[in-house]
Chains A and B, each alone.
Chain A
Amino acid sequence: MSYLIKGAALPSGRRADIRIAGGALAEVGGPLTAGPGEAVVDAEGLVALPGLVDIHTHLREPGREDAETVLSGSRAAAAGGYTCVHAMANTNPVADTAGVVEQVWRLGRAAGYVDVRPVGAVSVGLQGLHLAELAAMARSAAQVRVFSDDGQCVWDPVLMRRALEYVKGFGAVVAQHAQEPRLTEGAQMHEGVVSSQVGLAGWPAVAEESIIARDVLLAEHVGSRLHVCHVSTAGSVEIIRWAKARRIDVTAEVTPHHLLLTDERARTYNPVFKVNPPLRSSDDAEAVRAALADGTLDVVGTDHAPHPREAKDCEWAAAAFGMTGLETALPIVHQLMVETGRMTWQDVAAAMSARPALIGRVADQGRPLAAGEPANLTLFDPSARWTVEPERLQTASGNTPVAGWELRGRTVATFWAGRATVLEGEVV
């Protein structure tokens, strides 16, 4: 099937027609005329972005198919404008062998909505004790290039050092969930004024910052590549800024919810706002927005973490950590960063497509919208208004933190390897 997209605004702001044929961008420029049998997509007023790449997604399969499957998560990703997601390793069984990562990779191919790039566990069973067979996962059909114990911190400094050293052999990266475990035993929310008043056990900023400080120094010492997941505090931003100034090879991500929300939400005791790392203070939220704008934080990663209703329909302390994000990430970034003039669409393309593809070493994703490039792109309507109704989202779980919110901007179409996965706002 070939398509002709008429009148889209490229990230540069230039208007162009885009012809998609044979899985590639055949022509970008124009004006172009539709050929016989070519479907025309009216993109007047829409922004064309390279297909989004999520460096941090939980697809839950295998093991928690009641929360999400590779298929439902892939459809959610496409609906949100993504053409590639990195599926985290904390499944059951854990993705710590070539067999499991290949299974997830094959499920992704069978689903057929996005590139599903499995993340391999750093340690066997996420236990933080023994290195998993990283090379086997890297050399498997899944071609794993991102390793993470996400959900758990690689706390042991020796294990972290060995992982950073070992992945150099195949150009991979260690993505750290920075959480000092002893400082966060029983932790429920950000430790600060709000936690002192609502009486929920605190998750102090220092528990994140101390691990990041250690890890950037380890990465420098062994000359390896580090990626920091879901940076949530102003102090973490300062450490990463310092590390980059020292030319340490570190990248970092921020989630849409840490850009948007603060710990004030915990006053409702609604467990949908329980997430790890927790929602922080308004000063922290402003610091991560500023750091995304100036590039200190390289990418937006969703940390899409679906949970079945019963995992959230309970006391805050008993509830699971996490919130969904794939279908709302781009509108949130649009509202917070683009409408406010803090980022251009080129900046968004870099933070949500090009840089995450580079971090994950995904060669055919995150490419510029130019003739001859793979046809991975999304069309976004910045003027659309829509109300988030959890039951109408593609994800199998309802734990979106923006239920009932009216968001500005919506994905109208997504093309993955030349195939339309979303058209007229509907997953196809």
Chain B
Amino acid sequence: MKHLLSAADLGHDQAVAVLDVAEEMAATQAREIKKLPTLRGKTVVNLFFEDSTRTRISFETAAKRLSADVINFSPKGSSVSKGESLKDTVLTLGAMHTDGIVVRHPASGAPYQIAHSTWTDASVINAGDGTHQHPTQSLLDAMTIRRRLKGGQAGQDLSGLAVMIVGDVLHSRVARSGVDLFTALGAKVTLVAPATLLPVGVEAWPAEVFHDLDRALAEAPPDALMMLRVQRERMSSAGGGFFPSPQEYAREYGLDAPRLAALAPHALVMHPGPMNRGLEITSEAADGARSVIVEQVANGVAVRMAVLYLTLTGAKEPGA
């Protein structure tokens, strides 16, 4: 594949193939010498128009483990009105013969525009765009679920599993890419949120929707429960007034001890981070035995190594 812009662009077989490569990458990370020569001589730019230390470090680690040269660039401002335009920034990188551009941008669609422009020939990897997509996040989530609940062998998908995503779906690129990828891999997806935090049009998504978390846990018991980050400013009227107070949100949608106890013994607790402990998730849940949150971070490096390898070398995914 040339670019990775949206999880919706990955069909079942391609998604499985990416996960298989990610497992192979993960296997190399258990060795004493973790570095592979695969991308020696290639240049990868982490172009982050929006702060995200976690995602940037994960991509940087992945690229360095593959021996790519890595440049981090965080322009201030992201539109014509503020500083240099997106076009000029990308033209500059293109002129430096960049092989891959990892883009994080507050505007939905910016990576798509770069990939479909004449500004650069580089491979474009979406590291999160606005409220649109975050495909490597959903790949690392899928890798975590597959490994924990299916054993992680090559060729497996997520069929037969139920994934529940709880929280601010409206503003979440993690939820959008998750719904696309998990359903492509054969999982059943359930969304739980107040109607204020679900987009108009969600009824056309391939997911069942609940507004009541306790009812959802009873009627659609999940194998993997993913709690989304809720930004506190969304409750103020200036932020949109999406919910009345953090306390009410935590009561209605937070993962607390009774809800944790209602989960099946094998069920996983997941969070894309950074967490608001005490709001969408209690420390008990985040640090408990079911939590795979730290494992998600580790798998993120393997998934990003796989995506960089597949996009920058033009390698065919095995089986694809």
Interface residues of A (CB under 8 A from B): 191-202, 204, 268-270, 310-311, 313-318
Contacts and interface: CB of A to CB of B under 8 A. Distances in A.
Nearest to B108: A199
B204 to A, nearest CB: 4
A199 B133 contact: yes
Interface of B: 8, 78-81, 85-87, 105-110, 112-113, 116, 129-133, 173, 176, 199-205
B107 A317 contact: yes
Contact of B109 (A191, A200, A201): A200
B81 A191 contact: no
Contacts of B110: 269, 315
Contact of A194 (B80, B81, B201): B201
A102 to B, nearest CB: 33
A269 B112 contact: yes
B200 A195 contact: yes
Given A198-B108, A200-B132, A269-B109, 11 more contacts: A193-B201, A199-B109, A199-B129, A200-B130, A202-B199, A268-B112, A310-B85, A314-B85, A315-B113, A316-B107, A317-B106
A197 B201 contact: yes
A201 B130 CA distance: 10
Contacts of B105: 315
Contacts of A314: 79-80, 85-87
Contacts of A310: 80, 85
Nearest to A270: B113
Contacts of A191: 200-201
A411 B131 CA distance: 44
Contact of B200 (A198, A204, A269, A270): A204
B200 A318 contact: no
A198 B108 CA distance: 7
Contacts of B109: 198-200, 269, 315-316
B80 A317 contact: no
Question: Taking each of A191, A199, A201, which has the highest tally of chain B beta carbons within 10 Å of its own beta carbon?
Answer: A199
Contacts of A199: 108-109, 129-133, 173, 176
Contacts of A317: 79, 106-108, 130
A318 B80 contact: yes
A192 B81 contact: no
Contacts of B131: 199-201
B132 A315 contact: no
B277 to A, nearest CB: 27
A315 B119 CA distance: 14
Of listed A191, A192, A315, residue having the most chain B CB within 10 A: A315
Given A191-B201, A196-B202, A311 B173 contact: no
29 contacts: A191-B201, A193-B203, A195-B201, A196-B200, A196-B201, A196-B204, A197-B8, A197-B176, A198-B132, A199-B109, A199-B130, A200-B108, A200-B132, A201-B131, A202-B199, A204-B200, A269-B109, A270-B113, A314-B79, A314-B86, A314-B87, A315-B78, A315-B110, A316-B107, A317-B108, A317-B130, A318-B79, A318-B86, A318-B107
